[in-house]
Structure 1
Amino acid sequence: MTNERDFVQDPSYKAKDPEKEKVIKKLGEMITDRYAVKLTHSLGVDDPEYWALDDVLTKEEAKFLLSFKKTRVNYKPEQLAKMNNMSLEDTQKMIDHLVWIGVLEMNRENPEHTKQYDVPIFVPGSAEFMMMQDKLTDEHPRIASFFNLMTQMPLEGMTPNIPMGGAGVGMHVIPVEKAIQTQSQSVSVEHLSHWLKKYDKYSVSQCTCRKQQEMRGEGSGEVNGEFCIGVGDMAEFLVDRGTARYITYEEALEVLERGERHGFVHQTTNIDGEDKIVGICNCAPGVCNALRTSQLYNTPNMSRSAYRAHVETDKCVACGKCVEVCPVGAAKLGQKLCKKDGSKVEYPLTLLPDNTKWTADNWNVNYREDAKINCYDTGTAPCKANCPAHLAVQGYVKMAGEGRYMDALKLIKQDNPFPAVCGAICNRRCEDACTRGTIDKPVAIDEIKKFIAAKELNESERYIPICEKDDGGMWGADYKMAVIGAGPAGMTCAYYLRTRGYDVTVFEKEDRAGGMLMNGIPNFRLEKSVLKAEIEVLEKMGVEFRFGVEVGKDKTISQLREEGYKAFYIAIGLQGGRKAGVAGEDAEGVESGVSFLKRVALGLSKDGNSDTVKLNGDVVVVGGGNVAVDVARTAARSTDGKVTMLCLESEKEMPAAADEVEEAKAEGIEVKNGWGPKEILTKEVDGQIVVTGIVFKRCTSVKDSDGRFNPSYDENDTITISCSNVLQAIGQSAEWGSLLEGTKVELGRGGTAVHDSLTFQTGEPDIFVGGDIGHGARFAIDAIADGKKACESMHRFVHKGQSLTIARDKREFIELDKDDISVASYDNTPRQVAGVKAGDAKGTYHDLREPLTQQQIIAESKRCLGCGATTVDLNRCIGCGLCTTRCEFDAIHLTRDLPGCTNMIRCEDKIGPVAKYALKRNFKILFSGDKNTK
């Protein structure tokens, strides 16, 4: 990260024209807001005020600007011509050029309503105007650093003494209007509608903060576009200088509404006095200079609105959506349950300078990282913390209980586009961690999700999300994204890339989407009609699928680059099986479990009956995971013989889900624990080596003293099982083919791709990986979580100047301490159990599991203890109201706690309020001690 205080003047600089140096220094001292420099006339060539003006102005232009004597004083062209002994024609040419640069500002604030001009301050003012002019910044890229420094340096010594409302130092947060509509004590200037109705002209222009950070290589994924609305004379000024276009009132509303949808903060200028602004910005928190500066100096008074957010804990369900959108990290997840001693968990407030001596030690230099801390160290709801995708579990459980099924579906799909799939096959880590499980049994979270998702299987009720980039529309052909592999990781990445406005193509070597979900997981666990319905949503969104295309063979990555693809997400899964490394593995009748499942799945897809793939005689399945259980249960449907499943682990250590093991046993499958393969027995029949049995040896321990997988055996304790088929489900392997030829992607342990654990970027910058091919075999929900994270990285990568890490939400959550909680009361309804359809499970490939009934869903939702909740740090909150736009439970509201923040003060008049507040503050520090007011 670039130093916030970086100076970019060449240390060997020497003025070519001493007279120009003198003029530029004088002009910089006139314009600057750094009072120490202004009063001492100490501006040097290393100061940004000097080198920025020196870059863009001639000596004659600087002299012309000095004729204004001071900033923000208006003159007509006729007056300026006389003051500079110039013709009116030459004066107008000079004015037009300086307006183009941005060091002169036009307004019509005079009785004749004619054009007048003034020299603006740097920020808000000429630094921004210069940044708007693309040709100028192309020629003078140091302007970006100049703009950054001018938002900070003038405020360094002043920030602790700035009273509520900012005293006219810059931007001012204005709340989301619908969040304060019921506030009877609100005043007109706190409403966006007031400002739009006050003016008759509107323009829209690019965001200079986004552009600045892009140029500095410190973008945080909030890509530049048309976000800033100019009003009145400012709209005309910006259009005249070619940096904006006129829009209608309705279009201005659309810009504001879209900004709220994408999580941008509304801010107005606060330098022109009462009831005056020049524009409304939709500010991205990771790049906005006003927000960044107040966060850097830990002084939210500089820009906060009159409001602060308050949470009604009883209504809050810890969905975390308010936390995700909070621009300053004021909202974090915590818990609502008391500790065992009956006390509540106390959450700290950020220290403010009100009653505290304020030095650089109090600054928050890591503010861009701290703003994305989701959870207090004391933890929050274990269900959300333990879900790899961190779904809003309490939220959709609550909605389901209230019958708000489509709302629940939308909430789930913010983090998981395949709820029906996960409802059928998830390994339910949320339930394993559920706080209710400490009382009796966990909430049936997955059954509730399955019920919700089933509503979407009806095509008329499907939820299709809005797909657009931050400033509307789509990115188009210049930003095409390629996803290789149509499994859960790849399709999730494609889903979220599409919601962000990208043209996405998914390349899949098979003839259908789904990956192992379609070609590996048996139908009796995941009905393919369910999966197809959720895939159809991606197609309706506009995601393109190209089937039968094996990248590396039919198309190379190099060729795809030539076709215009800017980034690649490789999510091909682990398609191969692993061998045990024992004698006899090459015999007829030995097959990997993955291969067997795929053969059965493809056979079912062709004619829909179970006779396509048949096994003769007894079957032994080697392995103890969920895949092994799937293999064993599928084998039981494919043979008339006996199926036996053996694994290294003890019954308690088996990685397979306990309920799936019980289902296998109920289908007549024998499970033997604590055995590892020693040798496959074979014989020759008609010239072919075939399986006759398998010898197992006793496994005495699976892991070594360091906890690593390193089995130990008793070679003398063996058993022999006769069989005709051995299906090995002891792991999966990577099958890369020629996919990586010509790339710098490296392979690591197990043949997976080496990549950055946060960004998923490989040694080839435009290639990202995820899912099993990135980290080894896990579960569908892990792949889904990876897909969304990869989307964020690819989005940032394809746009210049965007960092893959700055201000990134790492989605890290901690579960509360379940050993130190007190549950005073709870609904004592037992866990609801889903029914089973009539029929012989072993005799069908269909899923006989029934979903819960509507009545059961209501009953089950009440079992949730609602142990998590959002907590707002009131000292940090800036009252933007974005949190209220995300809450679906009416649990967070704005309250007008700080009416003084509504004050609007002219820039020239700020010294009085600042000095008055500084005196009051220093008096409090002196006589009441150095402590924080809460």
Structure 2
Amino acid sequence: MAEQRELILKLGQKITDRIGHTVTVDDPEYWGLAGVVTDEMAEVALSMKVRVPATAEEISKKCGKSLERTEELLKEMSVIGLIEYNWENAKHEKQYILPMFVPGCAEFMVMNTKQVEEHPEIADFFEQMARLPLEKVTPMVPPGGAGIGMHVIPVEKAIPTEQKSASVEHISHWLKKYQDKYAVGQCSCRTQQRVRGEGTGDIEGELCIGVGDMADYLVETNRGRYITYDEVMEILERAEKNGYVHQITNIDGQNKIFAICNCAVGVCNALRTSQLFNTPNMSRSAYRASVNPQDCVACGRCVEVCPAGAAKLGQKLCTKDGGKIEYPKHELPDNTKWGPEKWDKNYRDNIRINCYDTGTAPCKTACPAHVPVQGYVKMAAQGRYMDALKLIKHENPFPAVCGAICNRRCEDACTRGTIDQSVAIDEIKKFIAEQEINSANRFVPKVENHEGKEFTEKMAIIGAGPSGMSAAYYLREKGYPVTIFEKEQRAGGMLMNGIPSFRLEKSVIEAEIDVLRQMGIEFKFGVEVGKDVTIQQLREQGYKAFYVAIGAQGGRKTGVPGEDAEGVVTGVEFLRKANISEDAHALSGDTVVIGGGNVAIDVSRMALRSGSTKVSQYCLESRDIMPAAADEVEEAEEEGITIGCGWGPKEILTENGKVKAVVFKKCLSVFDEEHRFNPQYDENDTITVECENVILSIGQSIEWGGLLEGSKVELNRNNTAVADAVTLQTGEEDIFVGGDVYTGPRFAIDAIAAGKEASVSMHRFVHKGHSLTLSRDRRQFIELDKDNIKVETFDNAKRQVPGKKSGVSKDTFRDLRSTFTEEQIKTEAARCLGCGASVVDPNKCIGCGLCTVQCEFDAIHLNRELPECSNMWKSEDKMKAVLPYALKRKIKITFSGNKKK
């Protein structure tokens, strides 16, 4: 056991924030200092008064050391972070201050990045000293913080001009006060949590602004650099865009601050007071946010950025009895006994809960990517097509693709469908996307990280399908260099090679892929990872993380006799060849397609266009449970394709090695009582269908090749990869998987959603010390109860139907479906019931104003409801504010308790 150092123990006791606590060697006040503070430094510090400025000459006299030695020690102590500077005095001479731990030396010590890397215990020291002193006192702190810690200052443009406000509530007030004395440095909280392994994806960088004395301190101790007013404004605006909360120091009274921080919710110790302890008085501004439900479209942007979990999605429709949903308000300590049982120890995850238990808009809930449907529908009605496109691309980079092929789960869930017909959501999205495709000016997202720069960590995407390209889009948007490796000679994956042009024109796909190119994403075609290059070789080339999204590019066979005959191919193989060449004479004679899904329908329609005299399709399922979309089945039948339901292949008859016919047997049931795939047949009830071609479209398989050789990635029985359901990380920590290789064959929108989630994980992974799950938005939404809503008025217009281009569909490979006219867009958009809306809990709101910055509909505003929160006290006077409030609170609690008795 190390020898107890009395001077360090005394120093820890002197500057502790814990009232009435006796410091021991087991406390952070001791071991946090012991590793970096020498006894000689402690002697100097002990000669100083806490938070009282003194010159080197004055300190020299008190500590009994020479001026020269005192100045040397003061410089070392400043670099370490034990003391800070002050120039604000009549003579404008350099003075030194011994601060308390927080705000003070604990965070200054962490801001010395090299030091905290060498002494990681300092990170724990800061974490504990930012928490322990507050555990008992926090509930007794009045609005405004009473000179304890930090204080939220709202986004200035969010402060309503018609409302009276105090100068201290405006960032511009403080910037003008300190004129050109600004510096920027690293955020101590971000560093602390990263070193502790609890980073939440909010990366360190030049984010926190020192003003006045602190600016000089940051520069002279190599913690930061001087910046201009314009640079300050750029940092503040970028912080708002990234969802960082502005906070100012709150320990020097009304007339002085030393920092403006841009705080990340998952790591900030100051914001933790309103989240862990559930005591927002400690940090909230004078403002609260409120939503105008009539203008809100439940896009969820305010929910995503809310640092206190105050904004959540709910509904705006009344219940059947005519009542409005009553949303719970968070309990506050104002007149209630408060202790650890009231804390929210899982606050970092709980603030990421998106939705109230009573639910929200079904369209957003049902969409795998949770695209803000109500939002873009309203923007389309207003003619704001580019704004609508940006809103969609926040969740889905390929709206034109999805407008053509999406399986429309949003429409299936649409509340309007309980009245007559659901809103034609997909057609509206298709119209919006087409405006960009036909425009010379495309929406290309700005590529930059949280510092306005680019990251250097190279990301590798394996597979240029919708999932891989989605991951690439969002990683590049964050500022990463991204390369997509694709074994084919073009991007698009199954979008290009598996979906016929009459459903999705190749020009549409190319237009949206071109945006990725403009963003700077690199494509390497004709490169099969595992064959032409290995993942290990890519690691050696500097790639830090990998997203494997190669899709299910192989076809499956039935296992019946004769399927190896000439003339039998899988649907995947057939579509790939047909999409590459679109040869109208690729087939001759009659064709039988086996399968009942959407891909099988595509195969049948493509076979007809490829020269087949007649196309017949057979599937196990009855018509009512056939997996293909009803409208696609109807389109196939309109083209003359016959569909036989309830039949499974028994044998493929051949003659001279070529297909002659298919024998089908009657399928009695497809699933067993537990709904597992277990078809039962009547072997004696058969039909024989003559044909020259058989195309098997009964499913897809994953072809890994040598991609995973030498890795720790495990596979399931169905050949999909084993990965974490939230992070998509495999047994090989730098390999992530998504799309069909993880879920099995699904739809493009599922793959797109997985790509975005993978980008979140990869971003966190490449910055060591960041948790892949902590404070992560789990994207869990709940559908409102459509059986308990009252819709009193609504637009009576019928669902709009898009027109068709001239031509006979079965004779062309082109897509003859038209989009809505602008008049139809307005009519259809008006049919939306607007059933979802955001709701703000006023007891949790801290008045930062970030929600107002993100809202595109002017639906959420700040109101100055708590002017007392603008009071700023000196730290040494805090008890003058705390004691009267604590007494009033105690009386309230006693009175409330007696009343209950």
Fold shared by both chains (TM-score > 0.5): yes
Report the secondary structure of 2:666's partner residue. Answer: strand
Q: Report what 2:514 is aligned to.
A: 536
- Deviation of the 1:930 alpha carbon: 8.9
Take 2:353 and 2:118, find their aligned partners in 1: how far apart are those partners?
39
Is 1:703 the counterpart of 2:678? The answer is no
8 Å CA contact retained: 1:623, 1:729: yes
- 2:541 maps to amino acid: E
Q: Which AA in structure 2 matches 1:571?
A: A
2:818 corresponds to which of 850, 855, 858: 850
The match for 2:289 among 289, 297, 309 is 309
Match for 2:552: what amino acid?
Answer: L
- Partner Cα separation in structure 2 for residue 116 and residue 535 of structure 1: 59
5 Å matches for 1:133-532? 133-199=112-178, 200-476=180-456, 479-532=457-510
Q: Residue 448 of structure 2 aligns to a residue in which SS?
A: coil
- Partner deviation per Cα, 1:811-850 (whole Å, 9 max, x = no partner): 1101001111111110000000000111110000000000
Displacement of 1:697 after TM fit? 1.3
CA distance in 2, matches of 1:122, 1:294: 20
Q: Quick check: 1:815 aligned with 2:792?
A: no
In 2, Cα distance between the equivalents of 1:661 and 1:931? Answer: 69
Structure 2 CA distance for aligned equivalents of residues 369 and 655 of structure 1: 37
Aligned length in residues? 899
Quote the offset at 1:139 in angstroms.
2.5
Q: Deviations over 1:109-165 (max 9, x none)?
A: 211011011100101000111011123213211000000001100000011111101
Following superposition, the deviation at residue 475 of structure 1 comes to 0.8
Of 669, 689, 702, the residue aligned with 1:721 is 689
Alignment of 1:543-554 (within 5 A): 543-554=521-532
Letter of the 2:101 counterpart? F
Which residue identity does 1:444 align to in structure 2?
A: A
Aligned-pair distance for 1:293? 3.3
The separation in 2 between residues aligned to 1:351 and 1:572, in whole angstroms, is 49
| Alpha carbons 1:356, 1:930 under 8 Å: kept | no
Out of 23, 30, 37, the position equivalent to 2:7 is: 23
CA distance in structure 2 between the partners assigned to 1:823 and 1:713 by the alignment: 48
Shift of 1:640: 3.9
Deviations 1:317-369 (A, max 9, x none): 00111111111111000001111111111110111101111111100011011
Matched to 1:669, the amino acid is: I
Distance 2:731 2:439 in 1: 42
Mapped contact 1:355–1:930 kept (Cα < 8 A): no
Q: Does 1:693 align with 2:661?
A: yes
What do residues 517-563 of structure 1 show as CA deviations (whole Å, max 9, x unaligned)?
01110000000001100000000000000011111111110110000
| Aligned equivalents of 1:930, 1:908: Cα separation in 2 | 35
Q: In the TM superposition, what whole-angstrom CA distance separates every residue of 1:718-745 from its partner, at most 9, and x where no partner exists?
A: 1111111111111000111111111111
What letter matches 2:465 in structure 1? G
Match of 2:822, as an amino acid?
Q
CA contact (8 A) 2:332 2:843 kept: yes
C-alpha contact (below 8 Å) 1:357/1:930 kept by paired residues? no
Percent same amino acid at aligned positions?
A: 65
**Partner SS state of residue 582, structure 1:** coil
| Partner Cα separation in structure 2 for residue 230 and residue 732 of structure 1 | 58
Deviations along 1:172-214, one digit per CA (max 9) or x if unpaired, are 1011111014243111111111111110300000111000000
TM norm structure 1: 0.95
- What does residue 20 of structure 2 align with? 36
Match of 2:652 among 657, 680, 687: 680
Helix, strand or coil for the counterpart of 1:727?
Answer: strand
Inter-partner Cα distance in structure 2 for 1:167 and 1:877? 19
Change (3 A) 1:349 1:509: same
Give the corresponding residue for 2:84. Answer: 105
Q: How far apart are the structure 2 equivalents of 1:691 and 1:183?
A: 81
Post-superposition offset of 1:790: 0.2
Say if 2:483 and 2:523, in contact at 8 Å, map to a contact too: yes
- Local SS of the residue matching 1:282: strand
Name the CA distance, whole Å, in 2 between partners of 1:292 and 1:480. 33
Q: Does the CA contact (< 8 Å) of 2:462 and 2:547 recur in 1?
A: yes
Which residue of 2 is the match for residue 919 of structure 1?
887
1:194-250 deviation line (CA, Å, top 9, x unaligned): 111110300000111000000000000001111000001110011111111000010
Q: Is there any run of 5+ residues in structure 1 with no aligned partner, and where?
A: 1-12, 605-609
Tell me the amino acid that sits aligned with residue 678 of structure 1: K
Q: Secondary structure at the match of 1:879?
A: coil
- Counterpart in 2 of 1:887? 855
User: Aligned partners of 1:544 and 1:292: how far apart in 2?
Assistant: 41
Partner residue, 1:10: none
Picking from 836, 843, 851, the partner of 2:804 is: 836
Partners of 1:151 and 1:293 within 8 A in 2: no
Which letter does structure 1 place at the counterpart of 2:617?
M
Offset at residue 712 of structure 1 (A):
1.4
Once residues 640 and 517 of structure 1 are traced to their aligned partners in structure 2, the CA distance between those partners, rounded to angstroms, is: 24
**Which residue in the other structure is 1:599 paired with?**
577
Is the Cα–Cα contact under 8 Å of residues 591 and 727 in structure 1 kept in the other structure? yes
Aligned match for 1:638, one of 606, 610, 633: 610
Unaligned 5+ segments in structure 2 are none
Shift of 1:458: 2.8
The residue type equivalent to 2:721 in the other structure is A
Contact 2:319 2:790 (8 Å CA) reproduced? yes
Secondary structure of the residue aligned to 1:621 is strand
CA separation in 2, counterparts of 1:821 and 1:92? 73
Partners of 2:215 and 2:898 lie apart in 1 by 46
Where does residue 629 of structure 1 map in the other structure? 601
Contact kept in structure 1, 2:566 and 2:658, CA below 8 Å: yes
For the 8 Å contact 2:273–2:280, the answer to whether it is kept is no
C-alpha distance in structure 1 between counterparts of 2:118 and 2:762, whole Å: 29
Residue pairs, 1:45-64, within 5 angstroms: 45-64=25-44
CA–CA separation in structure 1 for the residues paired with 2:891 and 2:651: 85
**Residue pair 1:841, 1:848 contacting (<8 A) in 2 also:** yes
Deviation at 1:912, TM superposition (A): 1.7
| Matched residue type, 1:27 | L
Q: Tell me the distance in 2 between the aligned counterparts of 1:922 and 1:487.
A: 63
- Match for 1:582: what amino acid? V
- Say if 2:160 and 2:863, in contact at 8 Å, map to a contact too: no
Q: What is the identity, as a one-letter code, of the residue corresponding to 1:885?
A: V
* CA distance in 1 between partners of 2:665 and 2:884 (Å): 85
Q: Quick one: distance in 2 between partners of 1:176 and 1:749?
A: 53
Structure 2 CA distance for aligned equivalents of residues 481 and 301 of structure 1:
43
Partner letter of residue 326 of structure 1? Answer: C
Deviation at 1:614, TM superposition (A): 1.6
Amino acid at match of 2:9: K
d(CA) in 1 for partners of 2:165 and 2:681? 75
Give 1:871's aligned amino acid: V
Check 1:930–1:652 CA distance in 2 against 1; reply closer, same or farther (3 A cut).
farther
1:459 CA displacement: 4.7
SS across alignment from 1:746: coil
Deviation string 1:296-321 (CA, Å, 9 cap, x unpaired) is: 11111110111111000011000111
Q: 1:14 aligns with which of 2, 27, 30?
A: 2
